[in-house]
Amino acid sequence: MLKGIKLRLYPSKLQQAQLLQMFGNNRFVWNQMLAMAKQRYKNNPSSHFVNGYQMDALLKRLKQEYPFLKESDSTSLQVANHNLAQSFKMLFKHQGGYPRFKSRHTVKQSYTGKSTISVVAKRYLKLPKLGIIKSSKTTQLTDCKVKRYTVSYDQTGRYYLSLQVETDEPALLPKTGKTVGLDMGIADLAISSDGEKFSTFNAKWLEKQSTIWQSKYSKRKYQATVAVRQWNHNHKDFKMEIDDYQNWQRARRRKARYQQRIANQRKDYLHKLTTDLVKQYDVIVIEDLKTKNLR
């Protein structure tokens, strides 16, 4: 069976620079192929669509013209082409919008590859082009085969490795012969047919801190925007950008970390709750209702 594993990465300063380059390379290939497809259609609307395999054939010429693309895992560039081709297929089926160009200003960056990843020591992995990198919980990778991996950088300033692995099917849970029905509520998360109430997730302190830092972030970004406009208006020879002001970026990372802690704790709470229910009951029946529609 296939399952997902997410690990934390701790890259060195050199590896962080390499990752920044690899994120940019994937974004560059996506934008180049998208621009080519738009220009091709503009020149000849009746021309055939360039699929993912044809895009992969263009990668060799692209690497000759832009040698910095060789610093990336070659399979990650192929995955970028595949994702773009899939976006166009969804567009042709009227199941999605037209693909957009990717911006380097997007906080969350990532790339996906299909190369081999190996565990070299406890909490150390070997990734293509990056070499040996420190990680967490490598014991989860025993007795499984990595099919695909994704390295990501989120708005909290942390790096993660998401793995799609192939492993043996887990052992079945013992039968209990019990059945339960769940009634979704507003005051309570759910109420079972046995009369047990499951409370909603509560993280008041974290939510308060998140609100405070969200306000600080908005104020600091506004102040930085005003300062940049005033500077650029008075100094024509040297232009500044809002990214040159680190105060609002520190607030952005702080509020993002509070928001992520809330999301992680909520996910952990729901995962433990559902796991307990699955272990206790063989059949679980849930009403087909949306809480927001209850009046």
Nearest CA to 71 out of 12, 15, 21 is that of: 21
- Asked if residue 73 and residue 34 are part of one domain, the reply reads yes
- CA dist 117 and 163 (Å) reads 10
Determine how many CB atoms are found less than 10 A away from the CB of residue 187: 8
Q: What total of structural domains would you count in the chain?
A: 2
- CA dist 158 and 106 (Å) reads 15
Residue type, 129: K
**Domain housing 89:** 1-170
- Asked if residue 257 and residue 141 are part of one domain, the reply reads no
- Asked if residue 264 and residue 197 are part of one domain, the reply reads yes
- Asked if residue 117 and residue 198 are part of one domain, the reply reads no
- Asked if residue 90 and residue 180 are part of one domain, the reply reads no
Max distance between CA atoms of the chain, in angstroms, equals: 78
- Asked if residue 238 and residue 199 are part of one domain, the reply reads yes
Show which of 170, 192, 219 is a domain's final residue: 170
The answer to whether the predicted template modeling score (pTM) of the entire model surpasses 0.85 is no
pLDDT of 269 reads: 92
- Inform me whether the pLDDT recorded for 211 exceeds 90: yes
- DSSP one-letter code for 194: T
- Asked if residue 192 and residue 163 are part of one domain, the reply reads no
- Asked if residue 199 and residue 156 are part of one domain, the reply reads no
pLDDT of 268 reads: 93
- Asked if residue 136 and residue 191 are part of one domain, the reply reads no
Handedness of CA 134, 140, 146, 151 (dihedral sign): negative
pLDDT of 289 reads: 67
- Asked if residue 144 and residue 196 are part of one domain, the reply reads no
- Asked if residue 215 and residue 165 are part of one domain, the reply reads no
What Rg, from alpha-carbon coordinates, does the chain have?
24
Using 50, 70 and 90 to split pLDDT, how confident is the model at 294?
Answer: low
Nearest CA to 146 out of 131, 126, 123, 130 is that of: 126
